[in-house]
Chains A and B, each alone.
Chain A
Amino acid sequence: MKYAYFPGCALHSSAKEYEMSCKAVNTILGVELIEIPNWNCCGSIDAVYAYNPLLSIALSTRNLSLAETMKMDIVTLCSACYFTLSRANKILREDAGLKGKIDRVINDAELKYAGEVKVRHYLDVLANDVGFDRIAGHVKVPLKGLKVAPYYGCLLVRPPKISNFDDPEHPTSMDRLITALQAQSVNYPDKTSCCGASLAITDESVMLEMTRHLLLNAKEAEADCIVTPCPMCHFNLDAKQKDIESHFDIKIDLPILYITQLIGLAFGIDTKELGLHRNVVSPNKVLEKLKKASQAAIKT
């Protein structure tokens, strides 16, 4: 299974541990992600798009056409990049007039996009190309007793005109993944709520309020951790958790893991290799619970 890998800006900076853990898991699953050489920013959901939509679509198109020369479909780990690249793909297919303009804009970059590339999120690849049965077959350390809140967020599963590998209102792919790792997926009605990532820099108090609900409701569901497949969501839930605690004067202390970190733990991959030391909220509570469970299993 080979794909053209589009990292996006976060995966090479704040979300490096997502890429690290993904690589470790891919080695076991036989998934090959080949980084698109000289890729650029996806074009952004709104930051560039609201400023100049043509520029945003052109930036997306350059990445699409680079993947086309590799003759592979794009896989990205970021829900925002997934949406942005897919949106451009859809607009180019539906709007011949705009496609002509975009061709002119990226012409100097010596590229021309025929429109053959599919854009996919890594979770889609896990669910539909690898399959959860195969993932279950690689489990060495069953995550028995671990309660996990699956946080899908917004752009991974919607809008359905752009993302169609899961249900936009009641997605289940991540729940099924959690079950395959023998952990328990908790009842989490906030699974598709929005964390407010695109407001984080300019309207922090709004974002803090939006993310606070996600964290407190996961606590109420007695989750040991939240898992997410998006570096933007992870940043808000994990790196900003301390800001939420001090802003609302509450204690949360809830570990936030990337899906690939959770899979890696179940595959028995070393925590360093999974980059768990880079998570801002310490994942030690999760690791201790797993250790106790495995010791108990050995005794019985």
Chain B
Amino acid sequence: MKKEIVHEHITPKATDPSFVEEVKKIRGGENVLDCIQCGVCAGSCHARFAMDHSPMQIIKMTQLGMKRPVLESSTIWLCASCYSCATRCPRGIDIPALMSGLKNMAMANNVPCAIETKPKFHKAFVEILRKYGRMHEPQLQVKLINKTNPKELFHNASLGLRLWKKGKVKLQPSKLENSAPIAAIFENALKEEEHK
């Protein structure tokens, strides 16, 4: 699963100098050029073992303009937003926010995702909120489950049953008394694009 950064990626044709300018516009990316490659983010990351590149590598690759490899990496999707890295970053880079921004960019550019369910997850989450204003986890699970995989179905059914026995599954979604404000917020927010 782990990919090493190979030198052939870093050629003029493979890099896009406008990428770093794009990244500087997103929250968490403003000071991406301040990174001194100290490695504290990579050393602090609790999900590093599952990532193809470390957060430090992602930042260097961003500085170099390696747009495709950054947006195709699993790293941006495996950041758990735990803020160990940003708490320690001596240059004050908000790395989890940067990762969220890179995800946003990958989704907006329809970049093939290293983890297939990820973009579906974000879309499904937002759809449910648009409908109810609050999360309804059973629906989220159902939307994302791979219905053709018996092992996965069994696994989810076993968790569902375990939760059901403890009264932790709420079949009816919790709703707002008045859902009009939520509908308005969704409509307005989708119209306005956040560009600083």
Contacts and interface: CB of A to CB of B under 8 A. Distances in A.
A298 interface: no
B153 interface: no
A198 B168 contact: no
Nearest to A160: B87
Interface string A3-45: 0000001101110100000000000000000000111110011
B91 interface: no
A196 interface: yes
Q: How large is the interface on A (under 10, 10 to 19, 20 to 34, 35 or more residues)?
A: 35 or more
Nearest to A198: B80
Given A41-B134, A109-B181, A51 B126 contact: yes
Contacts of A160: 87
B166 A280 contact: yes
Interface stretch (A53-61, A112-120, A174-182): A53-61
A257 to B, nearest CB: 14
B33 interface: no
A201 B140 contact: yes
Given A54-B194, A196-B46, A210-B46, A46 B83 contact: no
Given A111-B181, A159-B87, A40 B176 contact: yes
Contacts of A52: 104, 126, 189-190, 194
B133 interface: yes
A199 B87 contact: no
B84 A158 contact: yes
Interface string B97-136: 0001101100100000001011001110110010001111
Contacts of B79: 46
Contacts of A39: 176
Nearest to B188: A105
Contacts of B122: 47-48, 50-51
Contacts of A197: 80
Interface of A: 9-10, 12-14, 16, 37-41, 44-55, 58-59, 62, 91, 95, 97-98, 101, 104-111, 154-155, 158-160, 168-169, 192-194, 196-199, 201-203, 206, 209-210, 239-240, 242-243, 277-280
19 contacts: A9-B174, A13-B174, A14-B137, A38-B176, A38-B178, A48-B126, A48-B129, A50-B122, A52-B126, A53-B104, A55-B186, A108-B188, A159-B94, A169-B87, A202-B121, A206-B78, A239-B163, A279-B166, A280-B168
